């Protein structure tokens, strides 16, 4: 592909040189009159001459003062595993290292930087949850060099949105836009602190919408080719009206630097998270209680659908909201409250955005026909939300996001009780627990629900022994509380 592109480039360059040379020679020899040469030049140059690029200087001048630099400081307790007889690159290293009790090695300091933006004049700030993760101190530095200690009002790991508050008045604020109106191909602008370079502005276009990323089921990301690098996290993404349409959150990179693939959390999603944190102190998400899969062409034909669309239900949890509403395996969810579901990845964030207890209207495809089903949405019980009021509770100290096993997962365990680890951070991650592990017991007590897990952990001493199943192997993992 590189060679083909290079050949095309050389051909275009040679053609341009030939045309330029021919025009020069012809002009010198008097073969072309001036009025005859003009159309040729105009024809070649007109696509470039008519191209206008947006001037973003006003957007930067207007919004730059409302973009802040966030620096964090924390202390993480280290551990020494010291296995001279086991190669750390060995695939079984993570398993075998748990057969020895880790020895304390003291604390290590953690520092980090990110970006954020002011959404209220009284100092309310939005940023990424991962920017302030495990931070003991959060400092916000304004564009005018003033610094404030920030309070974390709430951080939602599932959406990677955090809400901060500083004690200040009459601060500059950004204008919030509507991310649902964003179009692929339109120009966008990011302002942040990449690599610590404050107030850096970079621009590009929207590459795609509603991107689903691994381990991020609740955010329909906006993909851009804006130059976003470490330190840009938590900064705003503006449209050409000077409105924030997203929070820069992730990059895809093989080097850790800019690769032209950056992802932003839609501001509509972030605003919803902000409202819930301010109102409830935590985030509540809707749940149906189904397992879903993508509808491909073969499945669409077998179910009598005219095209591959929707989310195919592969299993329904017993006594779940879906079961009570009469949903069945084989049903295809086509829309929720009038919003079409084009692919299965679109369903989780749509359902999660519905407040638990509210009703939703589903259009489904069953036995070659459409049906309408009313369903009362349940609550997604997870420990992935930490607020200022409960950040000292067991989930935030262990850093585990858990959910009950689905029926199909439970059958693979021969009926054993357990909780699936959806995400691991903090002390749990440092102990070696990772997403996909199954927690079978806490200090020898089998666990069947997240409530029971929290209760058992709260009763434990400084260290908790978790029995973990990973693949076919089971092992006890000591985790500091």
Catalytic residue among 98, 130, 331, 384: 130
Give 240: exposed, middle or buried? Use CB within 10 Å, 0-12, 13-18, 19+. middle
CA distances (Å), origin 365, targets 27, 304, 324: 71, 9, 18
Q: Are strands 243-251 and 175-176 parallel, antiparallel or unpaired?
A: parallel
**CA 359 to CA 355: how far, in whole Å?**
9
Q: Which residues, 6 or more positions from 447, have their beta carbon under 8 angstroms from its beta carbon?
A: 417, 418, 419, 439, 440, 441, 453, 456
Q: Nearest Cα to 248, choosing from 122, 351, 118, 114?
A: 114
Whether 233 is a known active-site residue: answer yes
Bridge-based pairing state of the strands 262-266 and 243-251: antiparallel
Three-state DSSP at 232 gives: coil
d(CA 232, CA 191): 7
The answer to whether 408 is a known catalytic residue is no
d(CA 141, CA 150): 10
- Is 200 assigned a catalytic role? no
* Sequence-separated (6 or more) residues with CB below 8 Å from residue 443: 456, 460, 464, 465
Q: Name the active-site residue from 115, 233, 249, 382.
A: 233
User: Which candidate in 71, 98, 160, 193 is catalytic?
Assistant: 160
Residues taking part in catalysis: 130, 160, 233
């Amino acid at each position: 592909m590189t060679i083909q592109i290079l050949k095309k480039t050389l051909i275009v360059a040679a053609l341009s040189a030939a045309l330029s040379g021919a025009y020069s020679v012809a002009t010198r020899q008097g073969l072309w009159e001036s009025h005859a040469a003009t159309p040729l030049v105009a024809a070649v140059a007109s696509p470039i001459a008519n191209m206008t690029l947006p001037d973003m200087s006003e957007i930067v001048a207007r919004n730059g003062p409302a973009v802040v630099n966030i620096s964090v400081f924390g202390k993480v307790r280290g551990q020494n595993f010291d296995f001279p007889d086991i190669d750390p690159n060995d695939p079984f290293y993570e398993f075998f290292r748990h057969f020895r009790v880790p020895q304390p090695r003291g604390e290590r300091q953690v520092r980090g930087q990110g970006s954020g933006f002011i959404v209220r004049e009284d100092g309310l700030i939005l940023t990424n949850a991962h920017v302030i993760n495990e931070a003991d101190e959060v400092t916000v530095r304004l564009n005018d060099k003033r610094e404030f200690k920030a309070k974390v009002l709430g951080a939602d790991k599932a959406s990677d949105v955090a809400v901060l508050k500083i004690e200040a008045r009459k601060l500059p604020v950004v204008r919030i836009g509507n991310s649902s109106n964003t179009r692929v191909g339109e120009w966008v602008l990011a302002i942040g602190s990449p690599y610590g370079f404050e107030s850096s502005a970079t621009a590009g276009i929207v590459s795609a919408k509603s991107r689903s990323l691994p381990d991020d089921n609740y955010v329909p990301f906006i993909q851009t080719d804006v130059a976003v690098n470490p330190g840009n996290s938590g900064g705003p993404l503006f449209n050409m009206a000077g409105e924030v349409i997203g929070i820069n959150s992730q990059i895809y990179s093989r080097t850790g630097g800019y690769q032209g693939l950056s992802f932003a959390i839609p501001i509509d999603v972030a605003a919803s998270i902000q409202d819930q944190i301010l109102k409830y102190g935590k985030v509540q998400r809707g749940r149906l209680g189904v397992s879903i899969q993508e509808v491909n062409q073969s499945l669409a034909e077998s179910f009598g659908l005219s095209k591959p669309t929707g989310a195919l239900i592969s299993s329904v949890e017993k006594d779940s909201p879906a079961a009570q509403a009469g949903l069945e395996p084989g049903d295809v969810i086509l829309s929720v409250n009038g919003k079409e579901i084009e692919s299965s990845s679109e369903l989780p964030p749509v359902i999660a955005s519905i407040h638990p207890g509210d009703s939703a209207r589903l259009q489904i495809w069953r036995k070659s026909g459409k049906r309408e089903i009313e369903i009362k949405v349940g609550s997604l019980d997870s420990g992935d939300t930490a607020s200022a009021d409960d950040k000292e509770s067991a989930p935030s100290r262990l850093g585990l996001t858990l959910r009950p096993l689905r029926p199909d997962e439970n059958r693979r365990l021969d009926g054993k009780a357990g909780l699936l680890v959806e995400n691991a951070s903090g002390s749990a991650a440092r102990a070696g627990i990772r997403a996909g592990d199954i927690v079978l017991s806490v200090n020898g007590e089998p666990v069947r629900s997240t409530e029971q897990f929290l209760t058992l952990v709260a009763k434990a001493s400084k260290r908790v022994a978790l029995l973990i199943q990973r693949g076919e192997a089971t092992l006890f993992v000591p985790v500091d509380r």
